[in-house]
Chains A and B, each alone.
Chain A
Amino acid sequence: MKALKCRECGREYPLEATHVCEFDFGPLEVAYDYDRIKKALSREIIASRPKTMWRYRELLPIAGEPTVGPLVGFTPLVKAPRLAKALGIRELYIKNDAVNYPTLSFKDRVVSVALSRAKELGFTTVACASTGNLANSVAANAASAGLKSYVFIPSDLEHGKILNSLIYGSNVIGIKGHYDEVNRLCAEIAGKFGWAFVNVNMRPYYAEGSKSMAYEIAEQLGWRAPQHTIIPMASGSLLTKIHKGYQELVKVGLISDTQPKVYGAQATGCSPISTAQKAGLDFFKPVKPDTIAKSLAIGTPADGFYALKVMRETNAAAEDVTDDEIRDAIKLLAETEGIFAETAGGVTVGVAKKLIASGKIPKNDSAVICVTGNGLKTLDAVNGYCGKAREIKPSLREFEALLAQEDKVNA
């Protein structure tokens, strides 16, 4: 790490817990010495390290060794021939962060970076504004690191996501409002208390953790970037960081530049970025979210501008899907590949289907779909949409009768 640098005007700041440029409010980003990293990293060195996201630690913004979440990442990249066939594309992979450790979402990546850095900077209390997954991860990782935590969430989140924060003994604060209101309140709280707010004053470090998903995908493909990556968009941060991850691997000589395209996926009920992209705009209009994909329900996406820029530059596209299409896609992924994704995963699979059908992703190509969260956390969303268990007495005759009836129905 060299410094924090404003993405808008390039002004530099020291490597502290600060997130916006004092001059133009532009987001601060970590600047690295890539020449040094190029000398320090090779495919062989990476291969010799444990299979976690920290095998790329030179490219992640902490000063020493990771102290929080040392086992996070290196989730499976699953070859998905049955889903590929269903969607009509030659080759398809699922990057499955639904089984990320320890809280079953990609947020463990960003949180382990943010909390490791927070400890380096001397914080003892950590906090976040969250649509659910981030809160779960902050709560769990803070517990294991012995840090005190406060997590702020919209009060109408899925039960599973609320319980999944409470269980770790975190201070869970439900805000009567949508995520953008939670975020606004947290921006004000963060200015007042001396806490490490992972997505506010720790954001420059936090956001970099997402790059590890790109590093892993490239390594798991045999050190190459995929032609097409389909990524869910809430704030738009993950999409920009996956793209940055691929670019950095080129910069440090680990892969060659094949100009990978990154596509953004949103729910129609909260689609400020995809709506702007489809209209050819380079700015978005904020919206009030209304979708079952609550983890993506950010109406004022902080990185929306940069997400649009990256999609434009890589000649990619964005698309969005309705709640019904999200549920259908969750079922399709489960039935074809045995992976149960949360609603955001339904969004990416549903969007992939549309992009392939419309030819925006050519059917003879190869694509990676990012699944960022686990279906067990959003059971409410599919409850009542996947049938019911049929009940019988423990009798062979009843079972045979049931099968016979089914044969009649299927005949």
Chain B
Amino acid sequence: MSKKVRIPTPLRKLTNNEELVEVNAANIGDAINELQARFPGIAERLIDEKGEVRRFVNVYVNEEDIRFLQNRATPLKDGDEISIIPAIAGG
């Protein structure tokens, strides 16, 4: 039942500074809805007006970018770890 979501610094004001939040959702889209139910306001930070994950937000399941998986339909299983990370530059 339990999957862990790592909350990035810019969103921790919404989660009362919780770094690691457990969810029960079966896929990424549901996990975001579940977060929203507990921490109102968090979904609009992650999802744009068209319902897509914002272009500067990267979501990973067990270190794999969901864009290489099934985006918001990416299924989750017990013990999965989800990271939400802002895009960063470099080289």
Interface residues of A (CB under 8 A from B): 8, 19-27, 107, 128-131, 133-134, 179-181, 183-184, 186-188, 191, 199-200, 203, 206-207, 234-235, 237, 283, 285-286, 288, 295-296, 298, 300, 302-303, 305
A179 to B11, CA, bound (A): 25
**A27 and B91 in contact, given A22-B10, A188-B83, A191-B8 (Cβ under 8 angstroms):** no
Interface residues of B (CB under 8 A from A): 6, 8-11, 13, 45-46, 48, 54-58, 60, 63, 65, 67-68, 83, 85-91
B56 contacts which of A22, A27, A184 (Cβ < 8 Å)?
A27
User: Could you tell me the distance in whole angstroms from the C-beta of A136 to the nearest C-beta in chain B?
Assistant: 12
CB–CB B63/A184 < 8 A: yes
CB–CB A26/B56 < 8 A: yes
User: Could you tell me the distance in whole angstroms from the C-beta of B29 to the nearest C-beta in chain A?
Assistant: 18
**A25 and B54 in contact, given A188-B83, A188-B85 (Cβ under 8 angstroms):** yes
A207 to B90, CA, bound (A): 8
B91 contacts which of A21, A188, A298, A305 (Cβ < 8 Å)?
A298
CB–CB A20/B63 < 8 A: no
Contact residues in B for A206 (Cβ distance below 8 Å): 89
B89 contacts which of A25, A188, A288, A303 (Cβ < 8 Å)?
A303
Pair count A-B, CB < 8 A? 96
Contact residues in A for B46 (Cβ distance below 8 Å): 25
Contact residues in A for B8 (Cβ distance below 8 Å): 187, 191
A131 to B85, CA, bound (A): 19
User: Could you tell me the distance in whole angstroms from the C-beta of A177 to the nearest C-beta in chain B?
Assistant: 8
Can you list 26 contacts pairing A with B, beta carbon distance less than 8 Å? A20-B10, A20-B56, A22-B13, A23-B45, A24-B54, A25-B45, A25-B57, A26-B56, A107-B91, A130-B90, A131-B90, A181-B63, A184-B60, A184-B83, A184-B85, A187-B8, A187-B88, A191-B8, A199-B91, A203-B89, A235-B91, A237-B89, A288-B68, A298-B91, A302-B89, A303-B89
CB–CB B65/A286 < 8 A: yes
A21 to B11, CA, bound (A): 10
**A8 and B88 in contact, given A22-B10, A184-B83, A191-B8 (Cβ under 8 angstroms):** no
A200 to B89, CA, bound (A): 7
A200 contacts which of B13, B58, B88 (Cβ < 8 Å)?
B88
Contact residues in A for B45 (Cβ distance below 8 Å): 22-25
Give the one of B48, B58, B65, B91 with max A CB within 10 A.
B91
Contact residues in A for B85 (Cβ distance below 8 Å): 184, 187-188
CB–CB A300/B65 < 8 A: yes
Closest to B8 in A: A191
CB–CB B67/A286 < 8 A: yes
A206 to B91, CA, bound (A): 12
CB–CB B10/A199 < 8 A: no
A20 to B8, CA, bound (A): 11
B90 contacts which of A24, A25, A26, A134 (Cβ < 8 Å)?
A134
User: Could you tell me the distance in whole angstroms from the C-beta of B9 to the nearest C-beta in chain A?
Assistant: 4
A183 to B83, CA, bound (A): 13
Contact residues in A for B54 (Cβ distance below 8 Å): 24-25
**A184 and B58 in contact, given A23-B45, A24-B45, A285-B67 (Cβ under 8 angstroms):** yes
Contact residues in A for B55 (Cβ distance below 8 Å): 283, 305
A128 to B88, CA, bound (A): 11
Contact residues in A for B58 (Cβ distance below 8 Å): 184, 300
CB–CB B56/A24 < 8 A: yes
CB–CB A295/B91 < 8 A: yes
Contact residues in B for A300 (Cβ distance below 8 Å): 58, 65, 87
Contact residues in A for B91 (Cβ distance below 8 Å): 107, 130-131, 133-134, 179, 199, 234-235, 237, 295-296, 298
CB–CB B67/A235 < 8 A: no
A183 to B89, CA, bound (A): 8
A179 to B65, CA, bound (A): 13
CB–CB B56/A25 < 8 A: yes
A266 to B56, CA, bound (A): 21
A303 to B86, CA, bound (A): 12
Closest to B13 in A: A22
A8 to B8, CA, bound (A): 19
Contact residues in B for A25 (Cβ distance below 8 Å): 10, 45-46, 54, 56-57, 86-87
Closest to A185 in B: B63
User: Could you tell me the distance in whole angstroms from the C-beta of B43 to the nearest C-beta in chain A?
Assistant: 12
Given contacts A188-B83, A286-B67, 15 further A-B contacts (CB under 8 A): A8-B56, A22-B13, A24-B45, A25-B45, A25-B56, A107-B91, A133-B91, A179-B90, A180-B65, A181-B63, A206-B89, A234-B90, A286-B65, A286-B68, A300-B87
User: Could you tell me the distance in whole angstroms from the C-beta of B4 to the nearest C-beta in chain A?
Assistant: 13
